[in-house]
């Protein structure tokens, strides 16, 4: 991460800590088997442009909001977990619905309190969650900056 982005992230984090404004969220997978509740500060929402997020999501980037510690509770269903090992050697548990394939969260594989990186698209409140930071911008798809110039249709062609 470039130093200025790091400073910016720290400033954003400290600013919100004073306000301390986590929000109750809930969501689920496409087939409906997995439902959950979570608690997270929408100000912490970020985009990840890393190539693992591109591959695992099958999309250009992933949008995530980290929960407060242990701020995730399954209501129904049980996700399948795939543990990925990053280039750095860091292992992350990726939870998804084994029936419909919806990605739900990623978290650490260590013991102790966990922060869950909830996939914003699974949240009922996703309209209210605007990402505040872009990580791994060096592998961002180069056309993202030109999105506004790509022709749009309201539904499908
Ligand atoms: Zn499902
Ligand atoms: Zn990523």
> What is the full per-residue pLDDT of the chain (157 aa) written as tens digits?
444 545 454 445 554 455 568 999 999 999 999 999 999 999 999 999 999 999 999 999 999 999 999 999 999 999 999 999 988 899 999 999 999 999 999 999 999 999 999 999 999 999 999 999 999 999 999 999 999 999 999 999 8
- CA distances from residue 25 to 20, 54, 97, 133 in whole angstroms, order as listed: 16, 25, 19, 20
What are the domain boundaries of the chain? Answer: 24-141
Per-residue model confidence (pLDDT) at position 2:
47
Tokens 């087939």, residue?
Answer: 31
pTM reported for the whole predicted model = 0.85
Top-level CATH class of 24-141?
mainly beta
Ligand 1 centroid to residue 97 C-alpha, Å: 5
Tokens 């930071």, residue?
Answer: 133
Ligand 2 centroid to residue 18 C-alpha, Å: 28
Q: Which residues are 107's β-sheet partners? A: 93
Ligand 1 centroid to residue 144 C-alpha, Å: 29
DSSP assignments along the chain, one per residue: --HHHHHHHHHHHHHHHHH---EEEEEE-SSSS-EEEEEE-GGG-EEE--HHHHHHHTSS-EEEEEEEEEEEEEEE---EEEEEE-TTS-EEEEEE-TTT--EEEEEE-SSS----EEEGGGBTTGGG----EEE-GGGS-TTGGGGGGS---SS--
Nearest ligand to residue 48 Cα: 2
Per-residue model confidence (pLDDT) at position 20:
65
Per-residue model confidence (pLDDT) at position 19:
56
Per-residue model confidence (pLDDT) at position 87:
83
Nearest ligand to residue 92 Cα: 2
Ligand 2 centroid to residue 22 C-alpha, Å: 23
Per-residue model confidence (pLDDT) at position 86:
87
């Amino acid at each position: 991460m470039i130093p200025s982005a790091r400073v910016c992230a720290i400033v954003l984090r400290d600013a919100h800590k004073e306000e301390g404004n986590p929000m109750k969220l809930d969501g689920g997978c496409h087939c409906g088997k997995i439902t959950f509740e979570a608690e997270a500060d929408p100000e912490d929402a970020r985009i990840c442009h890393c190539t693992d997020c591109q591959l695992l999501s099958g999309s250009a980037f992933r949008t995530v909001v980290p929960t407060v510690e242990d701020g995730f509770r399954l209501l129904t269903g049980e996700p399948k977990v795939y543990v990925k090992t990053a280039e750095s050697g860091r292992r992350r548990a990726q939870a998804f619905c084994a029936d419909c394939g919806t990605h739900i969260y990623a978290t650490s594989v260590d013991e102790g309190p966990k922060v869950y990186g909830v996939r914003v698209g699974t949240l009922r409140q996703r309209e209210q969650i605007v990402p505040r930071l872009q990580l791994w911008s060096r592998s961002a798809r180069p056309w993202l900056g030109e999105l506004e110039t790509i022709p749009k249709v309201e539904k499908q062609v």
